Structure formats: C-alpha cells, structure tokens
Amino acid sequence: MENLGIMSNFWKNRNAFVTGATGFVGSHVARLLVEQGANVVCLQRDAVRNNSLDIMNLRDKVSVIDGTLEDFALMERIVNEYEIDAVFHLAAQALVGVANRSPISTFEANIRGTYSLLEACRKSETVKRVVVASSDKAYGSHDKLPYAEDYPLLGLFPYDASKACTDIIARSFAHSYKTPVVVSRFANIYGPGDMNMSRIIPGAIVSVLRDEAPIIRSDGTPIREFIYVDDVARGYLLLAERIDEVIGEAFNFGAGDTVQMLDLVNRIISLSGRDLKPHVMLQKKIEREIDAQYLSAEKVERRLGWRAEVSLDEGLKRSMEWYQKNLDLIN
C-alpha cells in the first residue's frame, strides 16, 4: 500500500493478536495486517451471527479463538502458544447507550478485560509491542478545545470512565513494569463495514439510501470530529512499529474535520442527491452528552509523521458507495 507510513516488510510473518477484530475498527486493523503479511490471531466473544470478520472476508485468513478478554488464563495461553509479537487491544463495549443502561458489563469488558490482557502481555517473553485503544471520550468535558494529550482524563459517564480507566491502566503497565504499551486516542471513527446503525454516519447513510429521513438522536447541535477508518488502521500499525520511541505515551489521532451533527447529516443527504430532511428527535440537549469534542493531532504528526489522508467529504463518499453495494447485509 502506498503512502501509508508503514515500514516495508515490517509485518511479514510477524504474529499479531487483535482483540475486537470481530468489530468494525478491529476488522480493518486485522485486514491491514493480513495485507502486510502478518499472521493474525483474533478473539471472538460471540459466534452466533456473522460479524465483521465475515463482512471483510477475513475469517479464512486469520486464526479465530473463541473467548472473552476477562479470561486471564485464555489471554495467557494465546500470547504464549501463538508466540505473539504485537497486540492490538481494540475490544470494548463501545456503545454509549448500552454503557448508560448497563455499566457493570461495560466495566467488566473494558476495565477487567484490559488488565487481564496486559498482565498476560507483561508475563510474556514474546510480546514486543502493545497498542491499547483509548478514546477521545476519556477526556470528558473541557472548556478549552481541542484536547491535547496532557489534558486530564475527566470522563465521568460510564463509557467515558471505562475508557479513562483503560487508558490509565495501560500506561501504568508501561511505567511500572516497562511493558511495551502505547495508548491511542482516536476521534469518532467511520467508514465501510460499520454495521452499528445507532451511530450517526452509518445510520444516516443507510436511511438516505432507503429514501428515509435520517434520524438525529439529539437536538443536532453537538460538535464532533470524525476520522476515516483507513487512516485509523494505518495509525495503529505505525504506533506498533515505532514502539521503542513511544512506550508509556498516549497519542491523539484526528482529522481536523469538526462538524455539528445537523450539518453532518445534511452533508450526507446532499452527497446522496436525495430530497430529504433529517428528523431531529430532541428539542433540547441530551443529559450525559458532551457538547463538543475534538482533538489536536499535532503530537503524532510531529513525532511520527502521521496525518489523516482522507477528508470527511471523501470518506463519506467512499462509505456511501460501500453501503450502497452492501445494503442487503443490513437489517
């Protein structure tokens, strides 16, 4: 792949373990690793339905292990038996609404799951690089934006708090035990293959493709930043490759495209060429939702030379083309 910032042949025949590979972002990281020649092991919690490994046609190209992150013995077995060199920890209960309704299951997966995996990595003789997915949500609410890496983590709502804990635990392993861990904090990720229609971009795209009014589950005023999934996968691999330079640190990744939710949906409608109006569900702001969140990616550009390559308009166009071709996969 051209202009990715990925080292030539770095991943060829390396053993990589991707948690969360059955989900949207993890499947794209697994796909890029496979394309780069890595031997990829994936963790699958639920095998009762097709997941992103199937959607991305990866199932026959990776090794799939059934189980949960919270199972420490299993984590230890995987990293040892498969002689794992690189770990990409992307698995999480990532839905804000679910976290608000069920904080315990979210904390179990996102917090206990993280320290179980990291303890297995700490004890391993083969693991040389671990990239842990935090989130812009870990920052919580700050008066001054964009978020910079030295901002305190003030995430207080259940999902936000779980990612703040993930973030701190990961850096604790690096600083306390010299475990080769680095933390990523990405903005909102979108792109082909995201089957979660409760997220605003896939939900709006599928609605307009079906000639239905897209739904905005807020008053339309929150401001967010979005980053295309190919830029994200490239960022994950870059952190792993450069681990010796970044152990114990956190890096923001964003595209610099900030947009209000109503404007975002209107942009999707415009790209579709359809004559639709969004349905704004609420007339006032949602409790437990932060008004504005966006990141400074200055540090990762300065230190590692990474920058987003796909603009929001281009990413939305690519996404819409994918959903148009795959509408039959969506319930």
- What does the DSSP assignment read for 298-325? HHHHHHH-----S-HHHHHHHHHHHHHH
pTM above the 0.75 mark?
yes
Sequential DSSP letters for 131-160? EEE--GGGG---SSSSB-TTS-----SHHH
pLDDT above 80: residue 59: yes
Encode burial over 257-270: b for 16+ CB neighbours within 10 A, e otherwise: bbbebbebbbebbe
80-124 residue pLDDT tens: 999 999 999 999 887 778 889 989 999 999 999 999 999 999 999
Summarised one tens digit per residue, pLDDT across range 234-252 is 999 999 999 999 999 999 9
The per-residue pLDDT for 290 is 73
Catalytic residue among 151, 159, 294, 323: 159
Give me 170's structure tokens: 């990961």
pLDDT, tens only, 268-324: 999 999 999 999 987 665 555 678 889 999 999 999 999 999 999 999 999 999 999
What does the pLDDT read at residue 2?
40
Which domains are present in the chain? 15-190+226-254+293-309 (3.40.50.720)
Establish whether 159 is a catalytic residue: yes
pLDDT at 132: 98
Calculate the alpha carbon distances from 136 to 21, 33, 207, 304 in Å. 20, 24, 27, 19
Query: How many other C-beta atoms are found inside a 10 Å radius of the C-beta of residue 274?
Result: 15
